[in-house]
Amino acid sequence: MAFLTHWLPPAARIALSRSRNAWNSREGRGRRVSAGGLKLVGFWIFGLLGLLITAGGGAPAVKISPDRLLEYKVKAAYLFNFTKYIEWPEQAFSSPEAPIIIGVLGVGPIVELLESTIGDRRVGNRTVKVKRSRRVEDLRQAHVVFVSASEKERWPDILAALKGTNALTVSEIQQFCGNGGMIAFLIENDVVRFDVNLDNAEQAGLKISARMLSTARVVSGKRNQSR
């Protein structure tokens, strides 16, 4: 991986070096590793830093500060990584080769960052596609739906409209998990973390890997997870 580090900003290069040392030590799996003012946790270190390398291209159309840009790069990397640790029911896909669709509802910088993060990567035998809309009806077939902060005034209606689907709902809106959502991002001591509500995920027919749950800040509901 060393030949790729010249694409990273200095802070991220330091983070990559520290992450290697953390991974090589038995205690490292639980360590936090700094990445440009934010931190990454646990087994996500390599996956997220690798994705941050490839997501380091142009800035999104929405103008934001460098710190916020890095925050959304980390969130975009998380969204892609979530697809590796979620088990959807068979009926969620039209065929064994059908793509995993990550829907983004609302406006914000994450769409362009998701597209550059994912590139031509695959999860198993499936490609991963990004779809953006302001209409929740357009995203009912999505497998992951990220509800942008721009939708904070109407997110209860959005979740109601997604009832009966197999969508993993994710947001950065406060109280999202406690009110019908499944995963909520938050910043805690400069660390990008996430909470999980297993009951809400189970109602959508989803199973979340124990490995992913081990890195969540808070897990509420039944621990009926796969793998």
Per-residue buried b or exposed e for 110-126, using 16+ beta carbons within 10 Å of the residue's own CB: bbbbbbbbbeeeebeeb
* Residue whose entry in the numeric block shows the structure tokens 């990559």: 16
Q: What is the pLDDT of residues 120-166, one digit of tens each?
A: 889 999 999 999 999 999 999 999 999 999 999 999 999 999 999 99
Q: Report how far residue 29's alpha carbon sits from residue 42's, in angstroms, rounded to the nearest whole number.
A: 5
Phi, psi at 165, each rounded to 5°? -100, 175
Would you say 187 and 37 are in contact if contact means Cβ atoms under 8 Å apart? Answer: no
Would you say 170 and 145 are in contact if contact means Cβ atoms under 8 Å apart? Answer: yes
Handedness of CA 130, 86, 183, 51 (dihedral sign): negative
List, in order of start, the domains of the chain with CATH numbers: 1-54 (no CATH), 64-220 (3.40.50)
Residue 32: which H helix or E strand, with range?
strand 32-35
- State residue 153's pLDDT score: 92
Q: What is the pLDDT of residues 175-214, one digit of tens each?
A: 899 899 999 999 988 888 999 999 999 999 999 999 999 9
pTM here? 0.75
Q: What is the pLDDT of residues 33-89, one digit of tens each?
A: 444 444 545 445 445 545 554 444 444 545 667 778 888 989 999 999 999 999 999
E strands, 60-190, in order: 86-87, 100-105, 122-123, 126-133, 144-147, 168-171, 183-188
- Does residue 17 have a pLDDT over 70? no
CA distances from 195 to 61, 97, 108, 178, 216 (A): 28, 30, 21, 10, 6
